[in-house]
Amino acid sequence: MKHLLFVFFLCLAGISAFAKDGYTIKIHFKQDVPDEYIYLAHYYAKSFPTVYKTDSAKVIDRHTAVFENKDSILGGIYLILFDEKGKFFDFVLNNGDKMAITVDTLDMPKNIVFKNSPENTRYMAYELHLQDYGKRRMKLQDALKTAKNKKDTLNIQEQSKKIADELRIYRENYIKKYPNTYLSTVFSAILVPQVPKGPHYLPGTKTIDSNFAYYYYKEHYWDQFDFNDNRLMFTPVYEPKLEEYFNKLVLPIPDSVNAEADKLLAKARNAKEIFKYTLYWLARDAETSKVMGMDEVFVHLVENYYMKGDAFWLDSASLAKYEDRARKIAPNVLGNTAPDLDLQDIWTLQDRPLKAVKAKYTLLIFWSPECGHCQKEIPLLDSVYNHVLKQKGVKVYSVPTEGELTKIQKFTKDYKISDWINVVDAHNKSDYRKKDDVFSPPKNYLLDQNKVIIGKGLDHTNIVDLLEWHEKKTAKKS
């Protein structure tokens, strides 16, 4: 019985030792390093140089340092920054790891040796393979620049595809050989769908489906990404995946983006770090997008996630900024009726409200005589107006956002825009900046005959195309 109890307690001790949190990383540099301290950092969705320092260690005798932490950590791809942060190397770090690393600074990663970390030994082999892949790819890119004919170009492209396939096969073989390891999770996340070869037909027909590759690739894009593993955030993998998916595969239409955003956030719901970054990235991408209508996506995300308590990482002041921004944008998304403006004619100061403008289309322009970009854009818009827009039934409702009345009148004369409906907020009662989200002119809206917003963020280069697209779309419905 005593023997059994002894064995039992030994097992408990072993389990306890295995389950310890934190890490111990002993590093020995073969060459002298100039640092007093070296740093432990990790990736967070982006590639280098966007990394985050998490620990430091004092260098002893210019060769040795020890990182030690007893708190639980989120594992991932970490970096050691040294030589005054001018050099670094990647490695895998999991919660509870204890390892020793010997670094030959003259030949990295080839001569980096790990003790008690077989996964990192394999990771260094992968890094060498990746290094070789990069050199071969760079060589082919240089060759492509000097290709003499189409045959040479096709040959180089074929070689490029071949080495890309080699890298994919390397990762696939690793996943098969070492399943359930962290690197296999990372490699799975990197993999992209392989579209089945051969002709593909529309259902029930013998007609080739020209969109099969696109739909297959999009449908299976996230198949290998483990949305339950927060450690994937501590890699440079996630943001490039998001960028490709939403900026290349999802149609840039608010309804489509909203639907895809909701699907992805539902997948990430159980992993706090992934969910947090997904929601942050989607909101930032929508708010800063140059694509017309994406501000509607921002409003959707704020109303359905931020305002419902899902942005758990934000304090009340930061959350209020999101809510305030969404409230300013919401009245002016595509498909909404533009807020009415009770403004006055710049010459007579008689009321000329926006709703009183009788036109098939109204181009609502906010500008400033002090704005250098406005001074360039206004004449170009007027030229488009005189040559195309006027014939299509467009009237221009022109609102200067600042400046003395005499200066505004002079501007309209100098720039010969007297054919526009030029108005000002003579009584300072309109509050158009808030109503129309006007904080940095120029800002333009295209309205239909009912003053419904059909375009925004326009300039002289795209307004005609938008108008013609809208007319074609309207003609199809009628």
**pLDDT of 443:** 87
pLDDT per residue over 118-143, tens digit each? 999 999 999 999 999 999 999 999 99
**pLDDT of 30:** 96
Q: Above pLDDT 70, what percent of the chain?
A: 95
Residue 6 reports pLDDT greater than 50: no
Residue 436's pLDDT band (boundaries 50, 70, 90)?
low
Q: Which residue has the higher pLDDT, 423 or 426?
A: 423
Q: Are 57 and 11 in contact (CB under 8 A)?
A: no
Residue 428's pLDDT band (boundaries 50, 70, 90)?
confident
**pLDDT of 5:** 41
**pLDDT of 188:** 98
Segment holding 80, helix H or strand E: strand 76-82
Neighbours of 243 (CB within 10 A): 12
pLDDT per residue over 395-416, tens digit each? 999 999 888 899 999 999 999 9
**pLDDT of 420:** 95
**pLDDT of 183:** 98
Walk me through the domains of the chain, giving residue ranges and CATH numbers.
20-116 (2.60.40), 127-188 (no CATH), 227-332 (no CATH), 344-477 (3.40.30.10)
Q: Is 116 left (phi over 0), alpha (psi -120 to 50) or beta?
A: left
What distance in Å separates the CA atoms of residue 380 and residue 367, rounded to the nearest whole number? 13
What distance in Å separates the CA atoms of residue 130 and residue 360, rounded to the nearest whole number? 60
Q: Give, to the nearest 10 degrees, the angle between helix 254-268 and helix 295-304.
A: 40
**pLDDT of 20:** 86
The SS3 assignment for 129 reads: helix
Residue 41 reports pLDDT greater than 80: yes
Please state which of the ranges 92-101, 115-124, 272-281, 405-414 shows the lowest mean pLDDT: 405-414
